[in-house]
Chains A and B, each alone.
Chain A
């Protein structure tokens, strides 16, 4: 099983700041990685797939980079609605998710 490790577990930032979230895989994924956002009491929402492609309707402030084992989700300037939990997911070997990063208001 491919293990995805997300860091940090919690990120405390203010609106307008830049957020950088990391996802590290236990083996190479090529670009087979997606990012999801989940708000309390809601289902996850797809943000990015194939490491860097934004899903339909996702604002340009969300961007993804990386390949192989190290991936990054960047939110260029945090909006109030961006405070949530973010998960990465791989599809190279079955499907597994990372443990999540909570982006909270500082």
Chain B
């Protein structure tokens, strides 16, 4: 079955960077866009961007441009999201989520999701 397994929780100081991984299994990794979404404690969902694992092409939400980098390693079917210049309001659970459609019929509907990675930014 399709599964996305994310790396473990991180604690970072303000100004630092964090890199979260998302290992995919059960499908052809290069065949589907991967999205990243975050959720601050007790808050709603915020889309950060996507990566095309086949080409490496990316598209970032305006809010995160200049601070976020999405990458992939096709040899190990893993996507990465790095966020720099961390602030306290970056404290959130970060999710990877696969696009419902393949790269030829991308949909921007998200299914399934990884289990989430808590990133805490605190001095």
Contact = CB atoms under 8 A, between A and B. Distances in A.
Given A94-B61, A96-B47, A97-B44, A49 B115 contact: no
A99 B40 CA distance: 12
Nearest to A32: B108
Contacts of B27: none
B114 interface: yes
Size bracket of the A interface: 10 to 19
A60 interface: no
Contact of A44 (B45, B46, B61): B45
A94 B95 contact: no
Contacts of A44: 45, 95, 97, 110, 113
A34 B109 CA distance: 7
A45 B107 contact: no
Nearest to A34: B109
Interface of B: 35, 44-47, 61-62, 95, 97, 100, 107-116
